[in-house]
């Protein structure tokens, strides 16, 4: 059965049609009942507000090329949203413009959320929901332990799985320890959460800009990783350190010298590696010692347990310490 790709919103009864089609798309790629219900809830919230505030709109549906996600675009020609941040807060009901209620609900319902709005020019909301990446394809886990002399961890790992087959991961080390280091790492993580589908170089630039404008000093070191079907992309800056483990040999991947948010960025060089089944990527902060070329890991352990194994063997006595392990098991294509 060919699913409709567009629903016109003129009446509240059209919202029910949009919800029905949203569930059909969710079911067509095999989303769980919970995930399908989240898709329906998000579409209901936005479509209802199109009718309520803009009176007319369109809902476009598409299955992503990977067949592991759906994209829904909802547009209207209303008055736009004056304050998107306020509209995104739960319970915010006083805004009188298009899509002014329930954006917080919608953002949580989807894996990707983007909104564009201009005064008197309408609003466009793009949302996506993905199947999870099977652990049989990409398995990842990490351990991050703060320095025992401080209350907060200045290291942070952030991951974003999307399109059903792509993982974006970052290992971030805010300068120093404690509160300031934690705030720096958290700021970088937030920026990444907004732009994780962009190129790695552009993400680094955005993080650098955010830290340059902040009040915290010291910058951050970072490893930024994107793993997808048969391919690895990586950019590292500073003394985070990264390794590719292949056929029993552990090889370091060179990083740029410097920090983001401090000096002028170096000319960013993207490292691209064609992955083989069984490859393992390890990325650590400087609280972990350099790993040996003959590193041995318990092969059948999960990535999380392997990260713990690395921490137990190689962490330094002082400082925050983080180890991320990503195991690429490959697709059967």
* Exposed/middle/buried for residue 183 (C-beta within 10 Å: 0-12, 13-18, 19+): middle
**Residue 228 CA to chain centroid, in angstroms?**
13
Neighbours of 93 (CB within 10 A): 9
Q: How far apart are CA 237 and CA 256, in angstroms?
A: 5
**Same fold yes or no, 6-130 and 138-328:** no
Residue 29 has pLDDT above 70, yes or no: yes
The helix/strand/coil state of 146 is: coil
Name the H helices within 177-323.
Answer: 178-195, 200-212, 303-314
Q: Which of 74-88, 115-129, 248-262 has the lowest mean pLDDT?
A: 74-88
> How confident is the model at residue 85, as a pLDDT?
54
More confident residue, 142 or 120: 142
In the structure encoding, which two tokens stand for residue 179, read together?
């509160």
Contact 14, 58 (CB under 8 A): no
- Considering the segment(s) 6-130 as one domain, its CATH architecture is 2-Layer Sandwich (3.30)
In CATH, what is the architecture of 138-328?
A: 4-Layer Sandwich (3.60)
Alpha-carbon gap, residue 165 to 227, rounded angstroms: 8
Distance CA 106, CA 19 (A): 13
Q: What is the H or E stretch that residue 129 is in?
A: strand 122-130
65-105 pLDDT, tens digit per residue, is 889 999 999 999 887 665 555 454 444 444 444 444 457 77
pLDDT tens readout for residues 8-28: 999 999 999 999 999 999 999
Which residue ranges make up each domain of the chain?
A: 6-130, 138-328
Residue 140 pLDDT > 70:
yes
pLDDT in tens, 261-276: 987 888 899 999 999 9
| Crossing angle for the helix pair 200-212 and 178-195, to the nearest 10 degrees | 140
Q: What is the mean pLDDT of the chain?
A: 90
**315-329 residue pLDDT tens:** 999 999 999 999 999
Contact 298, 263 (CB under 8 A): no
- Residue 16 tokens, joined: 């029910």
């Amino acid at each position: 059965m060919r699913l409709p790709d567009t629903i016109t919103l003129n009446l509240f009864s059209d919202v029910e049609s949009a919800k029905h089609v949203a569930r059909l798309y969710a079911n067509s790629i095999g989303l769980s009942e919970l995930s399908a219900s989240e898709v329906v809830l998000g579409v209901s919230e936005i479509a209802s507000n199109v009718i309520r505030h803009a009176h007319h709109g369109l809902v476009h549906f598409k299955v992503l090329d990977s067949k592991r996600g759906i994209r829904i675009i909802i547009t209207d020609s209303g008055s736009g949203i004056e304050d998107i941040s306020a509209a995104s807060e739960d319970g915010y009901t006083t805004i009188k413009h298009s899509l002014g209620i329930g954006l917080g609900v919608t953002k949580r319902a989807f894996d990707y959320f983007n909104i564009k709005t201009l005064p008197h020019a309408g609003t466009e909301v793009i949302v996506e929901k993905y199947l999870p990446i099977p652990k049989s394809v990409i398995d990842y886990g990490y351990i991050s332990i703060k320095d025992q002399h401080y209350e907060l961890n200045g290291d942070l790992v952030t991951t974003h799985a999307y399109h059903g087959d792509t993982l974006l991961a970052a290992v971030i080390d805010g300068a120093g320890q404690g509160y300031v280091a934690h705030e720096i790492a958290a700021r970088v993580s937030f920026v990444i959460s907004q732009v994780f589908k962009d190129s790695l170089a552009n993400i680094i630039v955005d993080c650098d800009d955010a830290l340059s404008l902040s009040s915290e000093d010291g910058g951050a070191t970072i490893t930024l990783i994107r793993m997808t079907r048969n391919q690895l992309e990586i950019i590292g800056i500073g003394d985070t350190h990264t390794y590719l483990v292949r056929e029993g040999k552990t090889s370091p991947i060179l990083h740029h010298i410097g920090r983001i948010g401090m000096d002028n960025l170096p000319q960013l060089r993207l490292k691209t590696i064609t992955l083989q089944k069984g490859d393992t990527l390890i990325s650590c902060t400087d609280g972990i010692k350099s790993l040996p070329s003959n590193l041995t890991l318990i092969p059948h352990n999960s990535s999380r347990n392997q990260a713990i194994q690395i921490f137990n063997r190689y962490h330094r006595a002082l400082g925050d310490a983080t180890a991320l392990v990503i195991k690429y098991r490959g697709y059967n294509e």
